[in-house]
């Protein structure tokens, strides 16, 4: 079993990634932190609690810490993706009744407004110190602002080599999704990812960061054929269908996709099924200042040719290139069926 801390910005695809973690027997989810991105961090915090409730896991809040973190990038202006995820961050569902049920349990949905990325850093540190096997995987499905704070506050934890990151983000051999070359999670705080990339390095040059870029996730589409495998008569699965249809409509309107790519659960899937991916260790750097290229991941494709750039700037990272899409959806749908049986809806 893998101890996992999930840093996210729910977000439709983040929500499904979180659902996967909550229902996967090989994952011991020890904490959830939220960050700015798909919506403001206090909204994504509410969404994380909503996911715990609808999956029947709200009673585990003592075991699974939920913390709201950074609400803005380290240096650049904030960008929110409301045009894709709606004003709540989980558009397509009326959350009022569910919120009332959560609050009736004595849970304050607004408590996240008082928390910071420093609180997240403390949470990750405590999870690592208390991990059962002395190891921790940080699943990152949003920007890296919270994780950069952790790097700066607890560098000795990272130096042990016993913490690794699996992150959805970046574009490698394709164009970007919210910038000409950049992917959203990296683009909205490239300085944070720069800090994380430089911090998670080892003397033996073993990659501690695995990236699942949009090169991979754009192949994982929630097609009508996929959505039809969910049961509309089950309240939980019907709620997931509503989320996916809202996601479909906004992706079609903004990106001209016939079906939406569900980026983030692919990273969660990697944690337990790396054998279903094609991957390669690369040398990479993130562009932090380009007007049109800020947030781009640059791969050192010819490392023996050092005179054209400072190769010391390039850091080791594991990059996924392909996933078994059929196996992914088979597994995810099965996880959603499991959750539907324990949901209080």
**23-43 confidence digits (pLDDT tens):** 999 999 999 999 999 999 999
Query: What confidence score (pLDDT) does residue 312 get?
Result: 77
Q: Is 34 strand, coil or helix?
A: strand
Residue 304 neighbours by CB under 8 Å, 6+ apart: none
Query: What confidence score (pLDDT) does residue 310 get?
Result: 64
Nearest residue to 61 via CA among 123, 125, 140: 123
* Residue in the structure block whose two tokens are 């909204």: 43
129 Cα distance to chain centroid? 22
Query: What confidence score (pLDDT) does residue 321 get?
Result: 96
Query: What confidence score (pLDDT) does residue 131 get?
Result: 94
Residues 130-159: pLDDT tens digits? 998 999 999 999 999 999 999 999 999 999
Checking if the pLDDT of 307 tops 70, the result is no
User: Distance between CA atoms of 62 and 261, rounded to whole angstroms?
Assistant: 33
Checking if the pLDDT of 338 tops 90, the result is yes
Checking if the pLDDT of 204 tops 70, the result is yes
Average pLDDT over the chain reads 94
Query: What confidence score (pLDDT) does residue 211 get?
Result: 98
Nearest residue to 197 via CA among 124, 285, 123: 285
Cβ-based neighbour number of residue 344 at 10 Å = 12
Residue 216 neighbours by CB under 8 Å, 6+ apart: 266, 277, 320, 321, 322, 323
Beta strands 163-168 and 209-212 are parallel
Query: What confidence score (pLDDT) does residue 309 get?
Result: 63
Query: Can you tell me the mean pLDDT for 60-82?
Result: 92
Confidence label for 311 from pLDDT (cuts 50, 70 and 90): low
Query: Can you tell me the mean pLDDT for 183-200?
Result: 97
Residues 2-31: pLDDT tens digits? 999 999 999 999 999 999 999 999 999 999
User: Distance between CA atoms of 52 and 49, rounded to whole angstroms?
Assistant: 5
Say which CATH topology domain 2-342 has. Answer: Inosine-uridine Nucleoside N-ribohydrolase; Chain A (3.90.245)
Query: What confidence score (pLDDT) does residue 250 get?
Result: 82
Q: Where are the beta strands (DSSP E) in 35-151?
A: 65-68, 136-140
Residues 231-287: pLDDT tens digits? 999 999 999 999 999 988 888 888 888 888 999 999 999 999 999 999 999 999 999
């Amino acid at each position: 079993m893998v101890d996992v801390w999930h840093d996210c910005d729910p977000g439709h695809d983040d929500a499904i990634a979180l659902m996967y973690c909550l229902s996967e027997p090989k994952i011991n989810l020890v904490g959830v932190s939220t960050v700015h991105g798909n919506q403001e961090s206090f909204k994504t915090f509410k969404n994380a609690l909503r996911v715990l409730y609808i999956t029947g896991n709200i009673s585990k809040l003592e075991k699974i810490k939920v913390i709201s973190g950074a609400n803005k990038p380290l240096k650049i202006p904030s960008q929110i993706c409301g045009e894709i995820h709606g004003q709540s961050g989980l558009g397509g569902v009326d959350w009022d009744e569910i919120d009332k049920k959560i609050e009736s349990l004595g849970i304050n949905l607004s408590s996240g407004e008082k928390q910071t990325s420093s609180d997240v850093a403390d949470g990750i540190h405590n999870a690592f110190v208390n991990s059962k096997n002395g190891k921790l995987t940080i699943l990152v499905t949003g920007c890296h602002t919270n994780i950069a704070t952790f790097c700066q506050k607890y560098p000795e934890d990272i130096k042990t080599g016993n913490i690794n990151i699996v992150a959805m983000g970046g574009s490698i051999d394709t164009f970007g999704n919210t910038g000409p070359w950049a992917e959203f999670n990296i683009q909205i705080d490239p300085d944070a990812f720069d800090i994380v990339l430089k911090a998670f390095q080892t003397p033996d040059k073993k990659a501690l960061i695995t990236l699942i870029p949009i090169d991979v996730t754009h192949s994982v589409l929630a097609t009508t054929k996929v959505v039809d495998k969910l049961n509309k008569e089950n309240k939980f699965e019907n709620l997931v269908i509503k989320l996916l249809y809202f996601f479909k409509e906004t992706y079609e309107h903004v990106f001209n996709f016939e079906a939406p790519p569900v980026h983030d659960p692919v990273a969660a899937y990697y944690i337990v099924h790396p054998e279903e991916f094609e991957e390669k260790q690369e040398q990479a750097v993130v562009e932090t200042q380009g007007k049109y290229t800020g947030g781009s991941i640059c791969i050192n494709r010819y490392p023996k040719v050092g005179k054209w750039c400072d190769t010391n700037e390039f850091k080791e990272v594991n990059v996924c290139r392909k996933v078994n899409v059929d196996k992914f959806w088979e597994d995810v749908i099965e996880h959603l069926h499991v959750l539907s049986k324990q949901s209080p809806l």
